[in-house]
Amino acid sequence: MKFGFIQIDKYSPVPLYEQLKACLIKAIRNGTLTPGQKLPTEDEICRKFSISRPVVRQAYGELDKLGLLERKRGSGSFVKSNTDRGVFLMQLVSYSEELAMIGMKAGTDLKKKEVAPYHAQIYEKLRLEPQQHCLHLERMRYADKRPFTYIENFVPMDLFPGIENHDYGTESLYHIMKDGYGIYPVKAVRSIRAEIIDPAQARLFHIERGSPVHMLESIAYDQYDRPIDYSIETYPGNTHRFDFVVYRD
């Protein structure tokens, strides 16, 4: 196996296991390592980069906790093949990065872009005053050209002057925030509930009216602990499952 996607700097203050972990996550997200692909063995990495086995073991353990790999006794470690959304509830990545991690191609159809009218509940979540402005986006998301999720985003415009001028059918909201404004999400508070699908969305998903859906609400906070995005995502109940890994301290 070629190891070009792994870069280890022994003079860096970043711990070696963190460097290895970051390289592997990046390779999974950008498609260099694909779902089901076998990862290098601990011995291979140790020999190639002259690092200790505990370093590799710790990096792989972190990936296991994130749900990015699966270990098969006697066979090794493999990039996890997983089309469910549970693992992504505990990460903050763009939609294209998320789909790349499960080996699928992302697509987006922008349905609405507007300055949202005042809504007390939404403004409260974003800590906005009534006179401030909020960008409202609605997008249909596709995976390998099949309907995957419908998402609404509400963004405080005062933090991002001109953010309404971007093309959200092709551009990533979080990439725009980071690259254009130096603001990026570092945490999110999320909740899931079950509801009956909206008739208009049922047509987009090609499912029957009255079908059950998962509604995922999320408030993302930036590096200054400011709410920068309130989103509502809809997932058909018969095609998505949410799994969680829970640890006890």
Rounded Cα gap, residues 219 and 187, in angstroms: 8
**pLDDT (tens digit, 9 = 90+) per residue, 152-190?**
999 999 999 999 999 999 999 999 999 999 999 998 998
- Per cent of the chain over pLDDT 70 is 85
- Cα of first residue to Cα of last residue in the chain, in angstroms, is 37
Region 86-236: CATH code: 3.40.1410.10
Residue ranges, CATH 1.10.10.10, the chain:
16-79
What tokens were used for 1?
């196996």
Asked whether the CA dihedral 74, 79, 84, 89 is positive or negative, the reply is positive
Residue 101's Cβ-count burial label (10 Å; 0-12, 13-18, 19+) is buried
Q: At 62, which helix (H) or strand (E)? A: helix 53-65
Region 16-79: CATH code: 1.10.10.10
Q: pTM higher than 0.85, yes or no?
A: no
Rounded Cα gap, residues 137 and 143, in angstroms: 19
Q: Which CA distances in Å does 77 have to 60, 117, 244? A: 8, 50, 20
The pLDDT value given to residue 87: 45
Q: What are phi and psi of 213, to 5 degrees?
A: -135, 155
- Cross-strand pairs, 221: 187, 227
Residue ranges, CATH 3.40.1410.10, the chain:
86-236
pLDDT in tens, the chain (249 residues): 577 889 899 998 889 999 998 888 888 777 788 888 899 899 999 999 999 999 999 999 888 877 788 888 888 888 876 544 444 555 566 677 766 655 567 899 999 999 999 999 999 999 999 999 999 999 999 988 888 899 999 999 999 999 999 999 999 999 999 999 999 999 899 899 999 999 999 999 988 889 999 999 999 999 999 999 999 999 887 666 665 655 555
**pLDDT (tens digit, 9 = 90+) per residue, 72-103?**
888 888 887 654 444 455 556 667 776 665 55
